Chain A
Amino acid sequence: MTAGYSRILAVFAFIAILVTLPLWIRDTFYVNIASQILIWSIAAMGLNLLVGYAGLVSLGHASLFAIGGYAVGIAITSGFDQLTAFVIGLAIILLISAIFGALALRSTGIGFLMITLAIGQILWGVAYRWVSLTNGDNGISIPARPQPFGLDIEGPTPFYYLALAVFILALAFTSRLVLSPLGAAIRGTRDEPRRMTALGYNVWLTRYIAFVMSGFLSGIAGLLFLYYNGFVSPQVLTVQSSSEILLMVLSGGSATIFGPFVGALVIVFMKNVASSFVERWSLVLGLIFVLIIIFIPEGIVPGLARLKTGFGGARRIRAVPAPSGEAS
């Protein structure tokens, strides 16, 4: 069997496991955990477009994650119906991503990181202090989940399937994108920005498109988060949230399709499940990160592939050369 067929088979097996998950995990607590993993995976997939493929590390993505939730929450509490609120939410996500990107991409590298951190903090400040709009620290609640196409998604299992459908769409979108000419161009701007310019590309615009798509995906995850919790608060916009999404990308493996999912799996599981058994669960999570950094610094997905090759020795994994580091 060729590597290509093995990969397709593995993807189908992965999706089959996810589709049948509620059938063999009957405990609704774990079904809800699975929904959370999918939601955070989508957010991490969005950030992965930026960190892994465009080479731009953001510490403000939680604000893009939360902004859609806030927009929908405010729209619903202002009297709009669910569908209108959803459309408003999408428009606001796009608008804020576009503005955020235009400001943040005035720089790259550490400058970009600091600008995203600063804008993230400003948006957190707005959510926390503009009480008349956002209800401040109390956050915004919505009375019920929507009923897309008349489907009732109030229960854990129906909501899980909604999250799974969005997850699969996001997975298909990112897979298709990174293998497309645009995806190649985004990766080109990461590795050789000057060369991309000499090939006729507007490097800033290419990065900007990546940023807006990244923000949009993370914002979609934020909408699901609102529908899941029925609530959004400034806690979602904190630097800690942004750091967690970044850790999901880095620990799972940046610039990989399944890395964000694996990273989200580890972090959400540790936060929600291991914390029930281990009082100092954050210490355990920290230890896991240290072990990842020591043994598989490229992240779990590419790291395990490398270890498998090292132990097995039979199959060759194509090594990914390091970027040349040409300055932008």
Chain B
Amino acid sequence: MPADALRFSGVDVYYGESHALHGVSFSVGEGRVLGLLGRNGAGKTTCMNTTVGLLQPRRGDIALFGESISRLGPEAISRKGIGLVPQGRRVFKRLTVRENLVVASRRLPGRQAPKWTLDTVLDEFPRLRERTSHYAGNLSGGEQQMLAIGRALISNPRVLLMDEPSEGLAPQIVAGVFATIAKLKSQGLSIVLVEQNPKLVIDIADDIVVLNSGSVVIAETTRSIHEKNIDVSRYLGVVSAEDAVS
């Protein structure tokens, strides 16, 4: 049984007095891809922001390879090895492609050679190599997504969080992005993939967690989803509460 790369244990998160996550628990195995699904407002991005320390859980714990990170600040969590590809890309629009990558690059502790460097990232995304001196704000949506992924990779994360990487992209570009995710998975990177599109996620993920109104309603392996014939999309579309639980 592989070790847990990331574990949520009974995490409660509030925005002021608004209860956003209700005792959320799930874990991501090392080298596995976890698909985190849910409709708008289900709490997916809140999970991501809590993992990277932008939000503090009021109760519960988050552990990275067994080490609690839920009381650390965002910069410390990042240094522990969590990389985030944020929703909406959020590249530094007034920095060039090269600067976006350089600013995120990080040396690993000791003399360990980093897997991801400027060169290896640009090899992975040749389109970015052609545009290293361009401002990120002048890139297309697909190129910005490549840059956002490259920026997360160059920090040499142990766990990669990807928040809706297909959002706003043409189908052909989405296919390219998911091919990259499949490649990263094959290299053994632990990935949490947040998406609204269940088809895309189920094709690539090992485990599926579905959130509804801040609570986990499904936590199964993808194989179990298929075997038990669970209709994940019921929790993602606009359906009545009765339909969802029946």
Binding site for B on A (CB under 8 A): 181, 184-185, 187-188, 190-192, 194-202, 318-324, 326
Contact = CB atoms under 8 A, between A and B. Distances in A.
B138 interface: yes
Contact of A318 (B54, B86, B135): B135
Given A188-B103, A321-B137, A200 B75 contact: yes
Contact of B78 (A191, A192, A200): A200
A194 B75 CA distance: 10
B52 interface: yes
Given A184-B95, A187-B94, A326-B90, A199 B78 contact: yes
A197 B103 CA distance: 12
B54 A198 contact: yes
B95 A197 contact: no
Nearest to A323: B94
Contacts of A195: 86, 90, 92
B75 A321 contact: no
A320 B78 contact: no
B167 interface: no
A201 B75 contact: yes
Contacts of B100: 184
Given A184-B92, A198-B53, A321-B94, 8 more contacts: A181-B102, A187-B94, A191-B95, A198-B84, A200-B75, A321-B138, A323-B93, A326-B90
A181 B103 contact: yes
5 contacts: A199-B104, A200-B75, A200-B106, A320-B135, A323-B93
Interface of B: 52-54, 73-76, 78-79, 84, 86, 90, 92-95, 99-100, 102-106, 134-135, 137-138, 151, 155
A192 B99 CA distance: 14
Contact of B94 (A185, A197, A200, A320): A320
Contacts of A201: 75
A187 B92 CA distance: 9
A194 B135 contact: no
Nearest to B148: A195
Nearest to B135: A318
The 5 A-B residue pairs with the shortest CB-CB distance in the complex, in nearest-first order: A321-B137, A200-B78, A184-B99, A321-B93, A197-B74
Contacts of A181: 102-103, 105
Contacts of A198: 52-54, 74, 78, 84, 86
Most chain B C-beta atoms within 10 Å of own C-beta, residue among A188, A196, A197, A200 = A200
Nearest to B80: A200
A133 to B, nearest CB: 41
A318 B132 CA distance: 13
B226 to A, nearest CB: 35
Contacts of B106: 200
Contacts of A196: 103
Nearest to B98: A184
B89 to A, nearest CB: 10
A197 B54 contact: yes
A323 B93 CA distance: 7
B90 A192 contact: yes
B180 to A, nearest CB: 20
A276 to B, nearest CB: 41
A306 to B, nearest CB: 15
Contacts of A188: 92, 95, 103
A184 B95 CA distance: 7
